[in-house]
Homo-oligomer: A and B are copies of this chain.
Amino acid sequence: MALIIQKYGGTSVGSIERIHRVADRVARTQGEGHRVVVVLSAMSGETDRLLKLAQEATPAPDERELDMLLSTGERVTIALLAMELRGRGINARSYTGRQVGIVTDSAHTKARIARVTADRIREALEAGEIPVVAGFQGINERSDVTTLGRGGSDLSAVALAAALKADRCIIFTDVDGVYTADPNIVPAAKRIEKISYEEMLEMASLGAKVLQTRSVEFAAKFSVPVEVNSSFKEGKGTLVTKEDVDMEAVAVAGVTGDRNQAKITIIGVPDRPGVAARIFIAVADAHINVDMIIQNISQAGTTDLSFTVPRADLKKAVPLIESVAKDIDANSVSVTEAIAKVSLIGVGMRSHSGVAAKMFEVLSREGINIMMISTSEIKISCVIEEKYVELAMRALHTAFGLDRA
């Protein structure tokens, strides 16, 4: 008899018919002899409806009040599922973030979990109950409602799994797992049976948006086995867990492509100490995340400095960089929007040498020029022209043996 946390996202509870199906699955899991805790998101579309109301009320809504507003969405779904289960004679009960004891800091709309007491959930489980918990929400020390930010329900589920030492935390979503690449781009992409937390983190941060990054970090920290699975069909999903020998056997676990970056180059930067710091402090002060940075070899006392920023921040970044460039006596600033970052990810890279060399060779064979490179222990990323991104992903997927089942 295992203790299983089941988290269902907004599309999985998007209508009464879908809530019926969630109830079916919960009942079946209990029927198989397991103890179940359910964590729910708001019905899909509900958060946007509430945000629209808020925008109509006032242009820049207060964040504590936004949390009061947005936290209603999950209360609706937990009440509906709990009453449906009870209607079937199953002893289910809804609990809010407060009742579960999900205590957060006071950073409204993006609160961080400080601790999870879960006393009522333990009691409920003791009593043979199925607790149905509102995801996405907690309370701060003042007992005001907070929310955990986009994707926060995943985090609620993982945090609860950690607090209860659950055997598994299953994230039901609209896909049946994590793939070796985006199947829309790489038709040969395969579902990954098992992936390490680290790989999942790299995949998530590089744009495979199956699991929210913070949830994976939390799961890794507390060794919570997380399964990603589909709420719409039966079958296996992807298990995100601790690194093991199987995982190391393959060099590359997946290929990702990210088109959300843009490249800024400052040409003719005087090669003096402190110049780079001055540039990146200015960027950081504007809350713009810099991803990759490359500095050319200095020639005649100047160098070129390239870096990538989120494309959405470009409008904010460019005037700022132009002003800094002037201050430091650089020659000019050039911007390239049409770039993409292609990455290989795999804990096997630690033990397999030559992955980078092979990657460069594959790209070169396809006539793709590499503009920037960055590597970590389990990841190699290349910035290329955006128009080649699909080709690059497919070629790498094949070359690293991921097309095979």
- A interface residues (Cβ-Cβ under 8 A, vs B): 16, 19-20, 50, 53-54, 56-62, 64-66, 68-69, 71-72, 75-76, 78-84, 86-88, 93-94, 96, 98-99, 143-145
Contacts and interface: CB of A to CB of B under 8 A. Distances in A.
A396 to B, nearest CB: 47
Per assembly, the copies of the chain total 2
Contacts of A56: 16
Given A64-B93, A66-B79, A79-B65, A59 B72 contact: no
A66 B57 CA distance: 28
A62 B82 contact: yes
Q: Chain A interface mostly helix, strand, loop or mixed?
A: helix
B87 A58 contact: yes
Contacts of A76: 50, 53, 69, 72
A71 B80 contact: no
Given A16-B53, A56-B16, A68-B94, A61 B83 contact: yes
The 4 tightest CB contacts between A and B, nearest first, are A58-B87, A69-B79, A65-B83, A68-B79
A106 to B, nearest CB: 14
Contacts of A62: 82-83, 86-87
A20 B56 CA distance: 10
A55 to B, nearest CB: 9
B65 A86 contact: yes
